[in-house]
């Protein structure tokens, strides 16, 4: 049944500890059983030595003073106000109240049933920690401003300010860890792991964890022939294990895993590797409860004081990418997260640079990302492509203003370079006087590109059509984007030129369906996955989006929107989106494995399955290119 | 042969109601009295044409509002008034689970049990409920009735007949935070807060008993 009041009460409770630590469903149960009490000023809630009530109290409105009689005098122990808890004693121990409580001013209290809460305490260790801590502080004599804020001593409960439960949330882990003895053979252990569908097994003696083996150990140590399957697990296990006590939070788990570069943590009774094993926490368990690390990283970026810190954070972001991909988190999600981090880094670099100059920008401006960063598809460290637009200014001011922004851009690009985004070899950066322009100049530039398309110019300009606001004035950015769409609507022939250039991309497969590899140069015999497979999909998505006036940059998002706009071509665009996801993931993994941009793939290193997977992506490329030819009549301009 | 003048055969819920309310001995001890603070949302203000959309109620016992003893029900509509949707936000095909008027009344009367009803401008809510009961060939409701408007007037001692206090007025006077106005349960809760505050003021003067409270609006309990 709908229960409007209970929902309202939940809304109040959920903002205050320890209720913020409790799941919503449980909290609603609590809310449904609350009693509301009203007390006039100086009315007594309970007296010192009264037998315990069946409820403890949270103040909804007003204030309550706690007092104690001693040495013939009344001492005021504390004054609690909105959101504070009191009357906790019966919850902790079955004794009469040690203090009295009276309304210090008119007060409305919520009575929380103790019987209900006893169960919650068992399931939420953090809640009981919190209650014990606040109970302890209540019995001191803390009525000074210094102590007032610390009435609730449990810091981790208080620090949960943002509404994301995730970081301080207890990490979920497997509470029935599978173990075997050190004398077990590798084969037996592998059988157990297969049967129980687990990717690790803990080696324990008398319930004390002494080592662990994972899928990876079996692969590296057995698969390679280094050890035999008849060897004992003792010989191949990783030892000692990294341990942690039971009430581990997601954040703590993440930090520990990162710090020790391990994929599993053993949860033990007292947190050392000398005590009983009670659970096993895998990296995978954490990823399931996230977007959490990215939150931590963006927070760190916000607090960064120098470029070295940014560099360090970006390295951590790479690790995160790798983890995500290994765990097959959807690529769309991964690109979003990484783009957010890259955007945050760029913003910070701009802020730091402005501080260095010591002078605010003279007029409003916008920092733009171009190309893959503009499309939010940047997973690896790639070249930086950016530009800057500033407000139109009077001629006599222009030099001054432009000099300021060039200096700023110089500093920003330098920082980005240190972080790991190499300078753009083609000089497409805001620090280039050609790409640091006023709004009017940018409009003219786009107009020229659209009106007068020449192959060379188009190749150069393509990257500018995927521009995205990173930092600065939203209006400047929108103004520019609107203008670009207007020009294209007036000169649709431009799209035909764009299509023509796109079709000139080298095809992925030869006549006999073999991969077309590079004929010479440094990457001879490698497959150029970027130019031959990804780029055609990116380009096609761009042209169709410009055609439909879609203000979307991301390739997957573009295809998804196109599925809506052109329902008759839904299948085609869907296959393109899927192919793009697979290829992007492939390229990123390649890049992470070989620590490069992932542009070239050595076909010989690919498994048969991977080759088939790649080839399956080429059909959509061919189809969408056919569609481009027809739609934009690219054959009419073959002669140019 | 059908006895023409025999006592009407009432449905069970109504017989129970009459029985529970008549000669209840619990009313003597204030701490034992169960008050139910109610509010209804309706399609309009016409007792004959308009219908109840929703009934909300929450119990008070021994100066405590008991959330666990609350009631909320939505009624399927034949009559529908577009204008009042703006006020209460209940659409004809909204997503609340709705029951028939009969089902709602039976559940409501059962929920009431032997309680004393408290409302704001009680005669309106009870009037609507009585009309609905009439359609089931029962009624009018026999519970003791209290009205926060009259309780307040008695307390303030000013010009009891002329001024009508709105719920908003009383929230202002008694310093009750307003939220959820115009949902039946939300208004019921506000009325409950006001009732607690008013009765505590009564208590200050002398021990409070039901008769004193009922005396504030004798016309409701004739």
Inter-chain contact A106–B66, Cβ cutoff 8 Å? no
DSSP secondary structure letter of residue A637: G
Same domain, A302 and A154: no
Mean per-residue pLDDT, B58-83: 84
Residue A424, pLDDT above cutoff 80: yes
**Is A514 buried (19+), middle (13-18) or exposed (0-12) by CB count in 10 A?**
exposed
- Residue owning tokens 């809304």: A11
Inter-chain contact B204–A40, Cβ cutoff 8 Å? yes
Inter-chain contact A2–B74, Cβ cutoff 8 Å? yes
- From the CA of A550, how many Å to the nearest CA of chain B? 35
Q: Which of B67, B185, B193 sits opposite A38 (nearest CB)?
A: B193
- From the CA of B56, how many Å to the nearest CA of chain A? 9
**pLDDT-derived band at A129, boundaries 50, 70, 90:** low
Q: Which of A470, A371, A471, A379 is nearest to A424 (CA)?
A: A371
Inter-chain contact A111–B64, Cβ cutoff 8 Å? yes
Query: Is residue A299 helix, strand or coil?
Result: helix
Tokens of B222: 């004739």
A633 found inside a domain = yes
Residue A251's pLDDT is 59
- From the CA of A37, how many Å to the nearest CA of chain B? 5
A172 found inside a domain = no
Same domain, A434 and A552: no
B54 found inside a domain = yes
Distance CA A429, CA A406 (A): 10
Q: Which of B70, B175, B179 sits opposite A3 (nearest CB)?
A: B70
Q: Cβ contacts (< 8 Å) between A34 and chain B: which residues?
A: 67-68
> What CATH number does the domain containing B47 carry?
3.30.420.10
- From the CA of A100, how many Å to the nearest CA of chain B? 20
Range of the domain at A576: 495-637
Percent of chain A predicted with pLDDT > 90 = 23
Domain C-terminal end among A451, A476, A491: A491
Residue A214's pLDDT is 87
B-chain residue closest to A10, CA distance: B67
Inter-chain contact B67–A111, Cβ cutoff 8 Å? no
A549 found inside a domain = yes
Domain count for chain A: 4
Q: Is A1 on the interface with B (CB under 8 A)?
A: yes
Residues A174/A246, Cβ–Cβ less than 8 Å = no
Q: Is A53 on the interface with B (CB under 8 A)?
A: no
**Would the CA dihedral through B208, B214, B218, B222 be positive or negative?**
negative
Q: Is A109 on the interface with B (CB under 8 A)?
A: no
- Residue-wise pLDDT tens digits, A301-330: 888 888 888 888 888 787 777 767 765 666
Better pLDDT: A510 or A543: A543
A-chain residue closest to B175, CA distance: A106
Sequence-ordered strand ranges (E) for A234-329: 243-245, 264-268, 277-282
Residues B214/B146, Cβ–Cβ less than 8 Å = yes
Q: Among the listed ranges A259-273, A552-566, A594-608, which one has the minimum average pLDDT value?
A: A594-608
Mean per-residue pLDDT, B166-185: 78
- pTM score over 0.80: no
- From the CA of B49, how many Å to the nearest CA of chain A? 27
Residue A409's pLDDT is 95
> What CATH number does the domain containing A569 carry?
1.20.120
Residue B120's pLDDT is 92
Q: Is A27 on the interface with B (CB under 8 A)?
A: no
Distance CA B76, CA B53 (A): 7
Q: Which residues of B touch A (CB under 8 A)?
A: 56, 58, 63-68, 70, 72-74, 96-97, 175, 177, 179-180, 183-186, 188-189, 192-193, 196-197, 200, 204
Q: How many Cβ atoms sit within 10 Å of the Cβ of residue A395?
A: 6
Interface size, chain A vs chain B, as Cβ–Cβ contacts under 8 Å = 63
B11 found inside a domain = no
- From the CA of A167, how many Å to the nearest CA of chain B? 32
Mean per-residue pLDDT, A210-221: 87
**pLDDT-derived band at A155, boundaries 50, 70, 90:** very low
Q: Among the listed ranges A57-71, B81-95, B99-113, B167-181, which one has the minimum average pLDDT value?
A: B81-95
**pLDDT-derived band at B214, boundaries 50, 70, 90:** confident
Residue A138, pLDDT above cutoff 70: no
Residue B151's pLDDT is 87
Same domain, A146 and A187: no
B204 found inside a domain = yes
- Residue-wise pLDDT tens digits, B129-144: 999 999 999 979 999 8
Q: Cβ contacts (< 8 Å) between A36 and chain B: which residues?
A: 64-65, 67, 192-193, 196
> What CATH number does the domain containing A243 carry?
3.10.580.10
Mean per-residue pLDDT, A485-494: 86
Residue A435's pLDDT is 93
Residue B76, pLDDT above cutoff 80: yes
Q: Which of A4, A32, A61 sits opposite B68 (nearest CB)?
A: A32
Mean per-residue pLDDT, A212-216: 88
Same domain, A412 and A514: no
Average pLDDT, chain A: 80
Inter-chain contact B193–A34, Cβ cutoff 8 Å? no
**Would the CA dihedral through A506, A508, A512, A514 be positive or negative?**
positive
Residue A459's pLDDT is 76
* Highest mean pLDDT pick, A278-292, A348-362, A487-501: A348-362
Residue A225's pLDDT is 85
B84 found inside a domain = yes
Same domain, A130 and A69: yes
> What CATH number does the domain containing A422 carry?
3.30.460.10
Residue A151, pLDDT above cutoff 70: no
Q: Is A5 on the interface with B (CB under 8 A)?
A: yes
- From the CA of A85, how many Å to the nearest CA of chain B? 18
- From the CA of A358, how many Å to the nearest CA of chain B? 48
Better pLDDT: A141 or A391: A391
B16 found inside a domain = no
- Residue-wise pLDDT tens digits, A511-533: 445 566 665 566 666 778 888 88
Mean per-residue pLDDT, A230-238: 90
A146 found inside a domain = yes
Inter-chain contact B67–A34, Cβ cutoff 8 Å? yes
Q: Among the listed ranges A234-243, A355-364, B3-12, B150-159, which one has the minimum average pLDDT value?
A: B3-12
B171 found inside a domain = yes
**pLDDT-derived band at A626, boundaries 50, 70, 90:** confident
Crossing angle of helices A474-490 and A493-503, in 10° steps, is: 90
**Would the CA dihedral through A12, A18, A24, A30 be positive or negative?**
negative
| ipTM score for this prediction | 0.85
Same domain, A629 and A505: yes
A-chain residue closest to B201, CA distance: A40
Residue A152's pLDDT is 33
Please state the three-class secondary structure of chain B as a single string.
Answer: CCCCCCCCCCCHHHHHHHHHHCCCHHHHCHHHCEEEEEEEEECCCCCCCCCEEEEEEEEEECCEEEEEEEEEEEECCCCCCHHHHHHHCCCCCCCCCEECHHHHHHHHHHHHCCCEEEECCHHHHHHHHHHHHHHCCCCCCCCCEEEHHHHHHHHHCCCCCCCCCCHHHHHHHCCCCCCCCCCHHHHHHHHHHHHHHHHHHHHHHCCCCHHHHHHHHHHHHC
Residue A305's pLDDT is 84
Inter-chain contact B67–A35, Cβ cutoff 8 Å? yes
Kind and range of the H or E element at A319? helix A307-326
Q: Cβ contacts (< 8 Å) between A103 and chain B: which residues?
A: none
Mean per-residue pLDDT, A561-566: 92
A-chain residue closest to B99, CA distance: A1
Residue A346, pLDDT above cutoff 50: yes
Percent of chain B predicted with pLDDT > 70 = 77
Residue B86's pLDDT is 57
Same domain, A467 and A521: no
Inter-chain contact A8–B189, Cβ cutoff 8 Å? yes
Residue A80, pLDDT above cutoff 90: no
Tokens of A563: 């599925």
- From the CA of A9, how many Å to the nearest CA of chain B? 9
Q: Which of A5, A6, A38 sits opposite B200 (nearest CB)?
A: A38
- Residue-wise pLDDT tens digits, A87-116: 887 776 667 887 889 998 889 999 999 888
Q: Cβ contacts (< 8 Å) between A8 and chain B: which residues?
A: 179-180, 186, 189
Average pLDDT, chain B: 81
Domain C-terminal end among A233, A266, A288: A288
Q: Is A112 on the interface with B (CB under 8 A)?
A: no
Better pLDDT: A15 or B25: A15
Q: Is A63 on the interface with B (CB under 8 A)?
A: no
Mean per-residue pLDDT, B52-78: 90
- From the CA of A8, how many Å to the nearest CA of chain B? 9
* φ and ψ of A55, to 5 deg: -130, 155
Range of the domain at B128: 30-217
Q: Cβ contacts (< 8 Å) between B177 and chain A: which residues?
A: 61
Inter-chain contact B180–A1, Cβ cutoff 8 Å? no
Residue A143, pLDDT above cutoff 50: no
- From the CA of B195, how many Å to the nearest CA of chain A? 10
Better pLDDT: A250 or A468: A468
Q: Among the listed ranges A142-151, A285-294, B8-17, which one has the minimum average pLDDT value?
A: A142-151
Same domain, A479 and A513: no
Domain count for chain B: 1
Residue B208's pLDDT is 66
Query: Is residue A264 helix, strand or coil?
Result: strand
Inter-chain contact A36–B67, Cβ cutoff 8 Å? yes
Residue A26, pLDDT above cutoff 70: yes
- Residue-wise pLDDT tens digits, B184-202: 777 888 899 999 998 888 7
Residue A407's pLDDT is 95
Same domain, A529 and A610: yes
Q: Cβ contacts (< 8 Å) between A38 and chain B: which residues?
A: 63, 193, 196-197, 200
Residues A452/A372, Cβ–Cβ less than 8 Å = no
**Is B37 buried (19+), middle (13-18) or exposed (0-12) by CB count in 10 A?**
buried
Residues B149/B174, Cβ–Cβ less than 8 Å = no
Residue A637's pLDDT is 58
Residue B6's pLDDT is 47
Distance CA B52, CA A327 (A): 55
Q: Where are the alpha helices (DSSP H) in A76-124?
A: 89-92, 114-123
Better pLDDT: A458 or A430: A430
Inter-chain contact A38–B72, Cβ cutoff 8 Å? no
- Residue-wise pLDDT tens digits, A40-61: 888 999 998 888 898 999 998 8
Same domain, A469 and A580: no
Inter-chain contact A4–B185, Cβ cutoff 8 Å? yes
Domain C-terminal end among A462, A491, A520: A491
Same domain, A284 and A297: no
Same domain, A336 and A431: yes
**pLDDT-derived band at A166, boundaries 50, 70, 90:** very low
């Amino acid at each position: 049944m709908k229960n409007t009041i209970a929902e309202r009460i939940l809304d109040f409770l959920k903002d205050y500890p320890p209720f913020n630590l409790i799941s919503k469903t449980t909290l609603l149960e609590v809310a449904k059983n609350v009693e509301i009490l009203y007390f006039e000023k100086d009315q007594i809630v309970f007296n010192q030595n009264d037998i315990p009530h069946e409820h403890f109290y949270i103040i909804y409105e007003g204030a309550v003073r706690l007092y104690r009689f001693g040495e013939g005098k009344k001492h005021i122990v504390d004054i609690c106000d909105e959101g504070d808890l009191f009357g906790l004693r019966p919850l902790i121990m079955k004794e009469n109240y040690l203090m009295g409580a009276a309304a210090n001013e008119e007060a409305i209290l919520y009575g929380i049933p103790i019987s209900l809460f006893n169960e919650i305490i068992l399931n939420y260790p953090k809640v009981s920690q919190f209650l014990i801590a606040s109970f302890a502080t209540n019995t001191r004599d803390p009525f000074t401003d210094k102590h007032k804020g610390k009435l609730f001593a449990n810091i981790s409960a208080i620090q949960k300010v943002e509404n994301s439960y995730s970081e301080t949330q207890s990490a979920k882990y497997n509470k029935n860890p599978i173990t075997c003895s050190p004398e077990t053979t590798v084969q037996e252990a592998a059988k157990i792991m297969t049967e129980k569908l687990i990717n690790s097994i803990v080696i324990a003696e008398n319930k004390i964890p002494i080592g662990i083996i994972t899928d990876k150990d079996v692969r590296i140590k057995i698969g390679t022939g280094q050890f035999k399957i008849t060897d004992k697990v003792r010989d191949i296990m990783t030892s000692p294990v990294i341990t942690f006590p039971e009430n581990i939070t997601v954040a703590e788990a993440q930090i520990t895993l990162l710090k020790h570069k391990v994929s599993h943590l053993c949860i033990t009774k007292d947190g050392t590797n000398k005590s009983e094993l009670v659970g096993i926490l895998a990296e995978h368990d954490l990823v399931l409860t996230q977007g959490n690390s990215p939150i931590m990283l963006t927070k760190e970026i916000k607090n960064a004081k120098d470029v070295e810190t940014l560099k360090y954070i970006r390295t951590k972001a790479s690790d995160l990418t790798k983890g995500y991909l290994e765990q097959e988190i959807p690529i769309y999600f991964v690109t979003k997260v990484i783009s957010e981090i890259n955007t945050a880094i760029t913003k910070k670099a701009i802020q730091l640079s402005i501080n260095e100059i010591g002078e605010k920008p003279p007029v409003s401006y916008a920092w733009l990302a171009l190309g893959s960063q503009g499309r939010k598809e940047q997973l690896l460290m790639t070249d930086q492509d950016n530009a800057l637009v500033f407000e139109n200014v009077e001629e006599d001011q222009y030099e001054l203003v432009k000099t300021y922004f060039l200096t700023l851009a110089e500093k920003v690009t330098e920082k980005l370079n240190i972080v790991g985004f190499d300078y753009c070899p083609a000089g497409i950066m805001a620090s280039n006087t050609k790409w640091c322009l006023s709004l009017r100049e940018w409009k003219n530039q786009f107009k020229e590109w659209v009106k007068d398309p020449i192959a060379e110019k188009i190749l150069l300009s393509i990257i500018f059509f995927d521009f995205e606001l990173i930092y600065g004035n939203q209006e400047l950015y929108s103004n520019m984007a609107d203008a670009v769409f207007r020009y294209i609507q007036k000169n649709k022939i431009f799209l035909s030129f764009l299509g023509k250039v796109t079709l000139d991309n080298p095809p992925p497969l030869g006549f006999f369906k073999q991969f077309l590899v590079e004929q010479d140069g440094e990457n001879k015999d490698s497959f150029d996955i970027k130019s031959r497979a990804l780029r055609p999909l990116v380009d096609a998505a761009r042209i169709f989006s410009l055609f439909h006036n879609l203000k979307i940059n991301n390739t997957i998002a573009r295809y998804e929107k196109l599925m809506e706009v052109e329902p008759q071509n839904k299948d085609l665009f869907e296959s393109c989106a899927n192919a793009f996801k697979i290829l992007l993931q492939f390229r990123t993994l390649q890049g992470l494995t070989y620590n490069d941009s992932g542009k070239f793939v050595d076909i010989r290193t690919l498994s048969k399955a991977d080759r088939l997977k790649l080839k399956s992506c080429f059909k959509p490329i061919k189809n969408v290119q056919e569609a481009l030819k027809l739609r934009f009549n690219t054959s009419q301009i073959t002669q140019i | 042969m059908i006895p023409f003048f025999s006592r009407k055969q009432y449905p069970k819920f109504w017989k129970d109601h009459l029985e529970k309310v008549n000669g209840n001995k619990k009313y003597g001890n204030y701490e034992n009295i169960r008050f139910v603070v109610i509010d209804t949302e309706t399609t309009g203000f016409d007792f004959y044409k308009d219908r109840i959309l929703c009934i909300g109620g929450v119990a008070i016992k021994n100066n405590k509002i008991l959330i666990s003893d609350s009631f909320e029900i939505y009624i399927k509509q034949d009559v529908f008034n577009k204008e009042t949707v703006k006020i209460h936000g209940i659409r004809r095909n909204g997503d609340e689970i709705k029951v028939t008027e009969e089902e709602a009344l039976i559940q409501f009367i059962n929920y009431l049990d032997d309680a004393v009803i408290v409302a704001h401008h009680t005669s309106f809510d009870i009037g609507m409920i009585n009309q609905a009961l009439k359609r089931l060939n029962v009624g009018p409701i026999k519970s003791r009735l209290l009205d926060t408007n009259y309780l307040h007037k008695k307390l303030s001692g000013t010009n009891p007949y002329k001024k009508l206090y709105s719920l908003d007025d009383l929230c202002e006077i008694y310093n009750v935070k307003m939220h959820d106005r115009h949902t039946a349960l939300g208004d019921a809760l506000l009325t409950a807060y006001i009732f607690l505050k008013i009765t505590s003021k009564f208590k200050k003067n002398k021990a409070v008993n039901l008769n004193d409270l009922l005396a504030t609006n004798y016309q409701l309990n004739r």
